[in-house]
Copies of this chain bind each other. A is one copy, B any other.
Amino acid sequence: MKKLINKPEDFVRESLEGMALAHPDLIKIHLDPNFVYRADAPVQGKVAVISGGGSGHEPMHGGFVGKGMLDAACPGEVFTSPTPDQMFEAAKAVHGGAGVLFIVKNYTGDVMNFEMAAELAHTEGIPVQNILIDDDVAVKDSLYTAGRRGTGTTVLAEKICGAAAEAGYDLKQVADLCRRVNLNGRCMGMALTSCTVPAKGTPTFELGDDEMEIGIGIHGEPGRERMKIKSADEITEMLALAIIEDPAYTRTVREWDMEKGEWVEVELTDEPFREGDQVIAMVNSMGGTPVAELYVVYRKLHEICEKKGLKIVRNLVGAYITSLEMQGVSITLLRVDDEMLRFWDAPVHTPALRWGM
């Protein structure tokens, strides 16, 4: 296994410790249960934004903790959901009196554990809203997911909602905004190579020397199709068109009704992209793909968006939501309005994303 690690069972903790040592001005870590949180938490009067999920997708989520983005991130073991006590303890540590937003990627374990954590928090009088991210257009149901998986839009939602919370939005407003970001974001990825989970020591799946997989999940879940490797332009076109031409999608999600004090089912439908839309485009490395290749992808994506009448008003090219050392790319497009764009542009200072300060 070719990794810069010590014992596999120490990987997550040691990586968190290294991150805390590198960024003491921005973050602190709590071990057992594990979470990363803002060095200046709790920020009184501000909605706290928390996310989390399996490790192995770094910099997501721990790298997005800091000013203007997340208040805390709860990392599970590699590709394993964090436990409810992680989110619950994180919520208690960062709650500044204005409630907590849980941004939850749609994987069955994450959804369940974030719901349990919300219930624990409610018993302590901390208002919590859970908003689901399910933006991956590749497949309808997947190995660990009922419905669409949650992928690239998560990064954009964390930035935008973090800024909204910083600007003084209340919990309902931040939750509404997060739901809207999810409904306007779509993502799809592909892999040239597998990754290897440290505790397992062998590749998650096998891909032939001349093969790739389109629509892969961020844990290596099967995608749409395995095929011979194609050119960057062809790959970009497959991903971009799948996203841009994706029809309206309706899902039923569970959200906490603050007035009723219970989980309610909410039906949500998004709208396909239309000519004239303004979008934020993210071209994301799966972890092992160098940035020079991402720019080859961005070049083609830009051309396709122009042809389709989508205007890329902001972009992010780099490794933001990864699958360990997997080679491959994902594309995310988020239709934005002025409100989202304003929060996108707001200053942010985290280990992995920084501008304006």
Contact = CB atoms under 8 A, between A and B. Distances in A.
A169 interface: no
Interface in A56-85: 56, 58-59, 63
Contact of A18 (B16, B289, B296, B319): B296
A3 interface: yes
A290 B292 contact: no
A232 B287 CA distance: 18
A11 B232 CA distance: 10
A59 B319 CA distance: 12
Contacts of A225: none
A192 interface: yes
Contacts of A248: none
A42 interface: no
Interface stretch (A102-110, A178-186, A255-263, A297-305): A297-305
B235 A295 contact: no
Nearest to A289: B4
In this complex, the member of A4, A11, A300 whose beta carbon has the largest number of chain B beta carbons within 10 angstroms is A4
A227 interface: no
A302 B3 contact: no
A88 to B, nearest CB: 24
Interface stretch (A140-148, A270-278, A321-329): A321-329
Contacts of A120: none
A296 B354 contact: no
Contacts of A307: none
Contacts of A288: 287-290, 325, 327
Contact of A63 (B11, B18, B22, B291): B291
Q: Which 10 A-B pairs have the closest CB atoms?
A: A18-B295, A18-B299, A4-B293, A2-B192, A58-B292, A288-B288, A18-B298, A4-B232, A15-B292, A15-B295
17 contacts: A2-B229, A3-B293, A6-B233, A7-B231, A11-B292, A16-B295, A18-B296, A18-B300, A18-B317, A19-B298, A21-B298, A21-B299, A21-B302, A22-B317, A58-B292, A290-B325, A319-B319
Interface of A: 2-7, 11, 14-19, 21-22, 55-56, 58-59, 63, 192-193, 209, 212, 229, 231-233, 235, 287-300, 302, 315, 317, 319, 322, 324-325, 327-329, 351-352, 354-357
